[in-house]
Structure 1
């Protein structure tokens, strides 16, 4: 079980539950074609953003496997919403989880994604007590692959044309980190 104390603060960011007041910024991120380019879905319509934000707003803790924790990432100084983190608790038996990271392209290149995702890994290992955390991305998504490698995650697989996404076969990269690797980093 994981019930974080909010907000979670880093040097420049705050991680917190989503709220209905995040709709405008959330929609701006999730409707941006560059954001969804390598994801399973097309840019959100406003109605899709409303539904997605409702789900994420109800996901502020993990009480059982199968649930997903959703965290809004905002700049501490301006309180601007710049990102969206998820931690899915995949299995209690295998103590495993999966992370997901989406950031506003206007804020790429400043280290915010790494700063926020480091806290997500901390929640995964130190908070939930997971043994193994994975992250997956489209093989063409160099930024996501670089982020995971920069955080110390190992590339474990390059799956060739394993999924059809938006009408085309795509390769997928799978990264992972173990609790022992987290402790040693």
Structure 2
């Protein structure tokens, strides 16, 4: 079980539960075609964003497998909501989970997704006790693949035309990291500081 002590602080970010007040900022992200390009959904109108937000506001803890933790990502210095992060608990028995993230394009290229991913892995491995965490993405989303690689995740699979998404067959790439690999990486990072 995981009930984080909010907000979760990183060097530059705060990860916290979504609230109804996040509607405008979340809609500014979800309404964009460049954001939705590699996701399962099309750009969302305000009502669709409101419905998604209603679900996100309830995903504040992981009490059992099959649940997701949805976190608003905001800049600590300004309080601006810049992204959306997800930790999904797949299996209690196999101690497996998955991470995901979506950021406003105005904030791409600054390391925020990597910083967020690192916080999600810490939650999954240290707080939830997961053994293995994956990241799945459309194979064309090379920017997201680079984020997962910077997190130390290895590319384990390239599934060719395995999903029908937005009227086309799409390839999926799967990345993963084990708890011991993540801890070794953390220890190495600490020793170089």
TM-score above 0.5:
yes
String of CA shifts for 1:102-159, please: whole Å, max 9, x gaps: 0000000111111111001000000100001000000000111110011100100001
String of CA shifts for 1:9-45, please: whole Å, max 9, x gaps: 1111100000000000001101111110001110011
Q: 3-state DSSP class of the match of 1:47?
A: helix
Distance 1:98 1:115 in 2: 16
Task: State the partner residue of 2:43.
Answer: 43
Q: CA deviation at 1:50?
A: 0.4
Q: Provide the aligned length of Structure 1 versus Structure 2.
A: 185
Distance 1:10 1:134 in 2: 21
Task: State the partner residue of 1:151.
Answer: 151
Task: State the partner residue of 2:189.
Answer: none
Distance 2:160 2:12 in 1: 38
Distance 2:44 2:95 in 1: 32
Segments of 4+ moved more than 2 angstroms: none
Task: State the partner residue of 2:142.
Answer: 142
Q: 3-state DSSP class of the match of 2:49?
A: helix
Distance 1:149 1:162 in 2: 22
Question: Aligned pair 1:120/2:125, yes or no?
Answer: no
Question: Aligned pair 1:162/2:162, yes or no?
Answer: yes
Runs of 5+ consecutive residues of structure 2 not aligned to the other structure: 186-193
Q: TM-score by structure 1 length?
A: 0.99
Q: CA deviation at 1:48?
A: 0.7
Task: State the partner residue of 1:66.
Answer: 66
Q: CA deviation at 1:93?
A: 0.6
Question: Aligned pair 1:56/2:56, yes or no?
Answer: yes
Q: 3-state DSSP class of the match of 2:23?
A: helix
Distance 1:100 1:151 in 2: 12
Task: State the partner residue of 2:9.
Answer: 9
Distance 2:157 2:138 in 1: 12
Q: 3-state DSSP class of the match of 2:174?
A: strand
Question: Aligned pair 1:105/2:144, yes or no?
Answer: no
Runs of 5+ consecutive residues of structure 1 not aligned to the other structure: none
Task: State the partner residue of 1:182.
Answer: 182
RMSD: 0.5
Distance 2:64 2:53 in 1: 21
Task: State the partner residue of 1:26.
Answer: 26
